[in-house]
Amino acid sequence: MKTLPSLALLVVAVALGYWMLRDGVQVRPSAVAVAAASGETATATPTVSPAAAPAAAQSPPEATIPASAPTAADTPPTPPAATAETAAAAAAPANNGADLLIPVQGVTGDQLQDTFTDARSQGRRHDAIDILAPAGTPVLAVADGNVEKLFDSERGGLTVYQFEPSGRYAYYYAHLQRYADGLAEKQPVRRGQVLGYVGSTGNADPGAPHLHFEVHRLGPEKQWWKGESLNPYPLLRGEQRL
């Protein structure tokens, strides 16, 4: 009785093999067929038709790290160019033994005349030099210092008494047409600063406007009328120093 089932299985296996050979499909005998041929019962294991093995998963390409944007060099920023002075005059040295500045604008040393010893009325000596210039010409401070006194005298007209910083010397400017705007007593002034303007006030000849200029070496009491008169001519020309 066992022969009939086995024979039936064998027929099925042969038919299946014939059908597969006819269609050009090559397979290995299954475990079921082998078992049938040998008369043994076997559990059929489903088979998967061969297929191309899946390609190995390709690893994703390495992420390209974008180059960082160029950064500014670690150097301090270039400082802005120094701004230029809008109206800077050439610096004039203070009166510390250097020559005095000629006190009338535009006048040179060659134009000066030595009138220091000229005779004046009542047996007086001039003790100054007169610097002729058109009325209204700026009168300049000969050195750094302070305005000690502004005075309107009968002889000198509008005058300026200037002391240099140490108080050893006094400079006297006379016959001014007017003072510079804002000029005041005890005011510090710089070499070359405008003190006033050439004129003919006092006992000066109106037809010959000029600056009457004196230099005095002061005593311990610091009183200009008691100082020693010095000839301004060689001082202004650079031939002598204080």
Q: What is the DSSP string of the chain?
A: -THHHHHHHHHHHHHHHHHHHHTT---PPPHHHHHHHHT------------PPPPPPPPPPPPPPPPPPP---S-PPPPPPPPPPSSPPPPPPPSSSSPPPPSBTT--GGG----TT-EEGGGEE--SEEEE--TTPEEE-SSSEEEEEEEEETTTEEEEEEE-TTSSEEEEEEEEEEEPTT--TT-EE-TT-EEEEEB--TTS-TTS-EEEEEEEE--TT--GGGSEEE-HHHHHTTS---
pLDDT at 83: 33
The CA–CA distances, whole Å, from 141 to 2, 30, 91, 137, 147 equal 149, 130, 13, 13, 10
pLDDT-based confidence at 9, cuts 50/70/90?
low
pLDDT at 89: 36
Q: How many beta carbons lie within 10 A of that of residue 163, not counting itself?
A: 19
Q: Report the C-alpha gap between 79 and 225 in whole angstroms.
A: 56
Q: Where are the domains of the chain?
A: 3-38, 109-236
pLDDT (tens digit per residue) in 42-63: 444 444 444 444 444 454 445 4
Say if pTM beats, i.e. exceeds, 0.75.
Answer: no
Q: Report the C-alpha gap between 76 and 96 in whole angstroms.
A: 43
pLDDT-based confidence at 124, cuts 50/70/90?
low
Q: Report the C-alpha gap between 148 and 187 in whole angstroms.
A: 8
pLDDT at 226: 82
Percent residues over pLDDT 90 in the chain: 47
Q: Report the C-alpha gap between 2 and 210 in whole angstroms.
A: 161
CATH architecture of 109-236: Distorted Sandwich (2.70)
Contact 44, 31 (CB under 8 A): yes
Compute the average pLDDT of residues 66-85: 43
Mention every residue, 6+ apart, whose C-beta is less than 8 A from residue 227.
Answer: 170, 216, 217, 218, 219
pLDDT (tens digit per residue) in 192-219: 999 999 999 999 999 999 999 999 999 9
The CA–CA distances, whole Å, from 14 to 18, 42, 50 equal 6, 17, 22
Q: Which residue, among 202, 209, 145, 193, has the nearest Cα to 171 in the 3D structure?
A: 145
pLDDT at 43: 45
pLDDT (tens digit per residue) in 156-193: 999 999 999 999 999 999 999 999 999 999 999 999 99
pLDDT at 7: 62
Using the predicted structure, report yes or no on whether residue 123 has a pLDDT greater than 90: no
Compute the average pLDDT of residues 66-71: 47
Pairing state between β 210-217 and 145-153: unpaired
pLDDT at 221: 86
pLDDT at 94: 40
Length of the chain measured in residues: 242
Q: Is the dihedral of CA 142, 171, 239, 108 positive or negative?
A: positive
pLDDT-based confidence at 117, cuts 50/70/90?
confident
pLDDT at 126: 72
